[in-house]
């Protein structure tokens, strides 16, 4: 599935959604207006001390412009403020949603085997999809089988599963569920879900206001001794509360109908994407069959989860209005869509449960244990070739694997894609990592040290100076954690032999270089947990490490840019589009293409040819995209260009990424450094770009 097309469809759905809810609000306004006309024209309203207001609104005419304006403004203010309040609650991204419903963040250091397996599955899919690994949460008190993804961008996304999902699903079935949720992340559904929730809450606020009015009158008594006006006022206030309650909940009812209809349309696509991703239809269908077979099914009982019912993998509540409020298609229809040959049989649980009395916790687990490897650390040589950085121009180190075949169109077609090939490659890459590095990436106390370690130079003298900088700027704890990661296992410890300087570390050659940015992706959930001071210290340390030898490599720039961008999206996830014109960004695009061309070749003529190949993809401004001199397209210029392009429209982002890919592929091959720089550009533009498998070119 094309990432940009999926995002465009999400924007169209949002536009239709706004239109539908606008109609619901208009209906609420009209209902409120006619209720006001009726209420103010009858009974106690005529005896209330309304002053000059009486002459304007208390009469028998159907059309009362001033009253209509008042009702309209009042409704819009209440709905608008309610929606903005709920949207503000979501401004912290997916973690705010997960924690708001009582989910617990999985801490790798204290995770049980089932939780570690879940982390493994999520990490594999994140690397395959080219996303920073999302934080993972568990709803401990929910025995039903369910899950959801939430967030405003790919940088602040989280994945949450219920305890029943961990207890009852096999690894393949868990992969099917998580693949389904990653489809929602990549298709732009998460942001749409949050908008649905915010708008519906705004309509519901009217009903909540009415309920609040009635609640405030619970101790008031009206008797014959009360004055007519006093008693009438109380009755009028009560009638106002009833009217608001009815209007609000009627609007909420129709809002939920719209929400359910929109949500149902997306579930079949997400199931199909999960199958495409894992190449295992039995994964998602197995999970659905267990939902259909267990008495507790996919029900989520927490009161706080009611507002996000449409987020979940499967129907999380029993609808009181049949299929009208159902946020998901029936389980049987979803299974049939994936497996047309299905015999209609659901999973047969080994023990029948009473949903009112029992839970999955009392049942034996069917989950297999997690495969574990030797507890190796060993960062020595993992950052081989990643020297320090300078401020003006790139230094492109020699690649240990040489150039590899590259097809720009295929690379861009994979943006945001869920493919089995990427999934298998991610599994192989992660399984090849020393377990100690993967564990360090997951822990807030060690992730900063790991990231610093990725920037260590191969030269012993430079590395020694860098270690001193880590202790000086990041603190003694980070320095100690880094030193522990640098201690390679000795012979006999898990069968691993300590590497010697220059040997490329525990994961040599291609694998060592290829695994560097994926390690950064794995570390993102842990880095997001750092406080502001710790993050500032880390970014300062990284800058010092990059400047240690006065030069910059594409990897060093890519690491810093990806880290800063993803942390920025996690803290300020709202999208902003400032540029809709290629002309406004012509200079920035020229800088990007020129840097990419010079990284790919030291020959001026070859660089100019490569830059022209990229410019040809942007006919509107092709004449403005000539190769820029090397001294005018250094690090500072590229950094500024990335930031400005991040605020461009989706179409400009897509064409710029394609143009950059054409520059890289002008000679038909790509180096690791070129691939890392392209992924850094994609990350800056918030476009998930999967890690392509790089195979050395065969000798002629």
Q: Quick one: 663 and 673 in the same domain?
A: yes
Give the pLDDT confidence score for residue 440 in this predicted structure. Answer: 87
Q: Quick one: 131 and 221 in the same domain?
A: no
Place of tokens 């008495």: 295
Average pLDDT over residues 2-17: 61
Tell me if 503 is assigned to some domain.
no
Statement: residue 32 has pLDDT above 90: no
- DSSP letter string over 404-465? EE--HHHHHHTTT---HHHHHHHHHHHHHS-HHHHHHHH-TTTHHHHHHHTT--SSHHHHHH
Out of 146-150, 336-340, 505-509, give the one with best mean pLDDT: 146-150
Q: How many domains does the chain have?
A: 3
Average pLDDT over residues 224-245: 64
Tell me if 368 is assigned to some domain.
no
Give the pLDDT confidence score for residue 699 in this predicted structure. Answer: 39
Statement: residue 357 has pLDDT above 60: no
Asked which of 403-407, 512-516, 520-524, 643-647 is least confident by mean pLDDT, the reply is 403-407
Q: Quick one: 632 and 526 in the same domain?
A: yes
Give the pLDDT confidence score for residue 194 in this predicted structure. Answer: 85
CA nearest 152: which of 215, 109, 202, 88? 88
Report how far residue 613's alpha carbon sits from residue 660's, in angstroms, rounded to the nearest whole number.
9
Given the DSSP bridges, would you call strands 104-105 and 669-670 parallel, antiparallel or unpaired?
A: unpaired
Tell me if 61 is assigned to some domain.
yes
Q: Quick one: 187 and 204 in the same domain?
A: no
Statement: residue 238 has pLDDT above 60: yes
Q: Which residues sit opposite 405 in a β-bridge?
A: 669
Report how far residue 522's alpha carbon sits from residue 370's, in angstroms, rounded to the nearest whole number.
18
Q: Quick one: 544 and 618 in the same domain?
A: yes
Give the pLDDT confidence score for residue 266 in this predicted structure. Answer: 78
Q: Mean pLDDT for the chain? A: 76
Q: Quick one: 28 and 55 in the same domain?
A: yes
Give the pLDDT confidence score for residue 52 in this predicted structure. Answer: 52
Q: Which domain holds residue 343?
A: 94-192+270-362
Q: Quick one: 284 and 307 in the same domain?
A: yes
Tell me if 500 is assigned to some domain.
no
Q: Quick one: 117 and 127 in the same domain?
A: yes
Tell me if 417 is assigned to some domain.
yes
Q: Alpha helix locations (H) across 515-582? A: 516-528, 532-546, 554-571
> Does residue 180 or residue 501 have the better pLDDT?
180
Average pLDDT over residues 448-476: 89
Statement: residue 46 has pLDDT above 70: no
Angle, CA 613 vertex, CA 608 and CA 614 arms, to 5°: 100
Statement: residue 693 has pLDDT above 60: no
- Chain centroid to Cα 56, Å, comes to 52
Place of tokens 């868990």: 174
pLDDT band, residue 469 (cuts 50/70/90): very high
> Does residue 229 or residue 145 have the better pLDDT?
145
* Domain CATH number, residue 142: 3.30.2010.10
- Chain centroid to Cα 17, Å, comes to 21
pLDDT band, residue 375 (cuts 50/70/90): very low
Tell me if 487 is assigned to some domain.
yes
Give the pLDDT confidence score for residue 290 in this predicted structure. Answer: 93
Q: Single out the catalytic residue among 181, 513, 674, 676.
A: 181
Statement: residue 216 has pLDDT above 90: no
Q: Quick one: 324 and 412 in the same domain?
A: no
- DSSP letter string over 138-172? EETT--S--EEEE-SSTTS-EEEEEHHHHHH--HH
Structure tokens at 50: 């309304």
Statement: residue 492 has pLDDT above 50: no
3-state class (DSSP) for residue 562: helix
Statement: residue 386 has pLDDT above 70: no
Dihedral angle computed from the Cα positions of residues 640, 606, 696 and 499, in that order, rounded to the nearest 10 degrees? -60
Q: Quick one: 281 and 340 in the same domain?
A: yes
Statement: residue 384 has pLDDT above 50: no
The predicted-structure confidence for 572-608, as pLDDT tens digits, reads as follows: 665 667 788 999 999 999 999 999 998 888 889 999 9
Domain edge (last residue) among 212, 235, 264: 264
Q: How far is CA 304 from CA 158, 300, 309, in A?
A: 17, 10, 10
Give the pLDDT confidence score for residue 448 in this predicted structure. Answer: 93
CA nearest 530: which of 422, 425, 451, 470? 451
Give the pLDDT confidence score for residue 139 in this predicted structure. Answer: 94
Residues 6+ positions from 34 with CB-CB distance below 8 Å: none
| pTM listed for this prediction | 0.72
Give the pLDDT confidence score for residue 403 in this predicted structure. Answer: 54
Tell me if 690 is assigned to some domain.
no
pLDDT band, residue 288 (cuts 50/70/90): very high
Q: Quick one: 603 and 658 in the same domain?
A: yes
Tell me if 179 is assigned to some domain.
yes
Residue 181 falls in the annotated catalytic set: yes
Angle, CA 510 vertex, CA 509 and CA 511 arms, to 5°: 95
Place of tokens 């927490």: 302
Domain edge (last residue) among 264, 285, 317: 264
Q: In whole angstroms, how large is the CA radius of gyration of the chain?
A: 29
Asked which of 89-103, 105-119, 278-292, 511-525 is least confident by mean pLDDT, the reply is 511-525
Q: Quick one: 181 and 114 in the same domain?
A: yes
């Amino acid at each position: 599935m094309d990432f940009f097309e999926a995002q465009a469809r999400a924007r169209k759905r949002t536009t239709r959604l706004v239109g539908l809810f606008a109609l619901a609000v208009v209906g609420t306004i009209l209902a409120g207006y006619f209720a006001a006309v009726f209420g103010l024209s009858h009974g106690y309203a005529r005896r209330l001390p309304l002053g000059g207001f009486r002459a304007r609104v208390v009469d028998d005419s159907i059309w009362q412009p001033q009253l209509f304006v008042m009702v309209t403004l009042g409704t819009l203010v209440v709905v608008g403020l309610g929606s903005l309040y709920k949207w503000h609650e979501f401004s912290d991204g997916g973690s705010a949603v997960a924690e708001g419903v009582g989910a617990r963040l999985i801490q790798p250091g204290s995770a049980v085997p089932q939780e570690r397996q879940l982390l493994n599955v999520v990490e594999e899919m994140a690397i395959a999809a080219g996303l920073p690994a999302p934080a993972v949460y568990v709803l401990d008190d929910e025995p039903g089988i369910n899950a959801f993804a939430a967030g405003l961008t790919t940088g602040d996304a989280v994945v949450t599963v219920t305890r029943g999902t961990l207890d009852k699903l096999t690894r393949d079935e868990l992969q099917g569920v998580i693949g389904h949720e990653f489809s929602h992340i990549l298709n732009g559904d998460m942001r749409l879900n949050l908008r649905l929730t915010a708008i519906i809450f705004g309509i519901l606020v009217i009903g909540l206001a009415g309920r609040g009015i009635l609640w405030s009158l619970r101790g008031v008594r009206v008797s014959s001794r009360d004055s007519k006006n006093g008693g009438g006022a109380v009755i009028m206030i009560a009638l106002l509360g009833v009217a608001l309650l009815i209007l609000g909940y009627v609007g909420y009812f129709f809002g939920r109908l719209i929400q359910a209809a929109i949500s149902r349309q997306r579930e079949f696509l997400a199931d199909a994407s999960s199958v495409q991703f894992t190449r295992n239809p039995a994964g998602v269908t197995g999970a659905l069959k267990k939902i259909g077979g267990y008495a507790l099914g996919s029900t989520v009982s927490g009161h706080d989860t009611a507002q996000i019912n449409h987020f979940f993998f499967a129907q999380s509540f029993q609808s009181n209005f049949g299929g009208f409020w159902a946020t998901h298609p029936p389980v049987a229809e979803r299974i049939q869509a994936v497996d047309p040959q299905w015999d209609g049989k659901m999973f047969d649980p080994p023990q029948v449960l009473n949903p009112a009395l029992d839970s999955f916790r009392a049942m034996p687990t069917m989950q297999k244990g997690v495969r574990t490897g030797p507890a190796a650390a060993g960062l020595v040589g993992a950052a081989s070739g990643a020297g320090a950085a300078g401020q003006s121009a790139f230094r492109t180190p020699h690649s240990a694997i040489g150039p590899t075949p590259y097809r720009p169109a295929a690379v861009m077609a994979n943006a945001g894609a869920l493919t089995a090939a990427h999934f298998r490659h991610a599994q192989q890459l992660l399984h090849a990592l020393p377990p100690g590095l993967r564990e360090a990436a997951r822990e807030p106390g060690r992730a900063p040290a790991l990231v610093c370690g990725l920037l260590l130079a191969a030269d012993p003298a430079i590395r020694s100076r860098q270690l001193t900088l880590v202790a000086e700027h990041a603190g003694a704890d980070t320095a100690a954690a880094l030193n522990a990661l640098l201690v390679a296992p000795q012979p006999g410890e898990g069968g691993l032999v300590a590497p010697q300087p220059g040997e490329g570390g525990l994961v040599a050659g291609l694998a060592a270089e290829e695994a560097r940015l994926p390690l950064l992706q794995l570390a993102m959930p842990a880095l997001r947990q750092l406080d502001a001071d710790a993050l500032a210290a880390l970014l300062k340390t990284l800058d010092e490490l990059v400047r240690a030898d006065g030069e910059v490599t594409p990897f060093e720039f890519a690491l810093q840019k990806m880290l800063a961008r993803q942390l920025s999206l996690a803290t300020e996830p709202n999208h902003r589009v400032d540029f809709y014109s290629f002309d406004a960004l012509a200079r920035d695009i020229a800088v990007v293409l020129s840097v990419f061309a010079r990284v790919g070749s030291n020959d001026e003529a070859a660089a100019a040819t490569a830059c022209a190949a990229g410019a040809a993809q942007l006919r509107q401004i092709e004449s403005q995209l000539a190769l820029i001199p090397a001294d005018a397209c250094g690090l500072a210029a590229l950094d500024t260009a990335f930031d400005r392009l991040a605020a461009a429209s989706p179409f400009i982002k897509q064409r710029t990424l394609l143009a950059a890919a054409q520059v890289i592929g002008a000679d038909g091959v790509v180096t690791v450094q070129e691939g890392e720089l392209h992924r850094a550009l994609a990350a800056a533009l918030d476009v998930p770009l999967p890690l392509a498998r790089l195979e050395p070119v065969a000798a002629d």
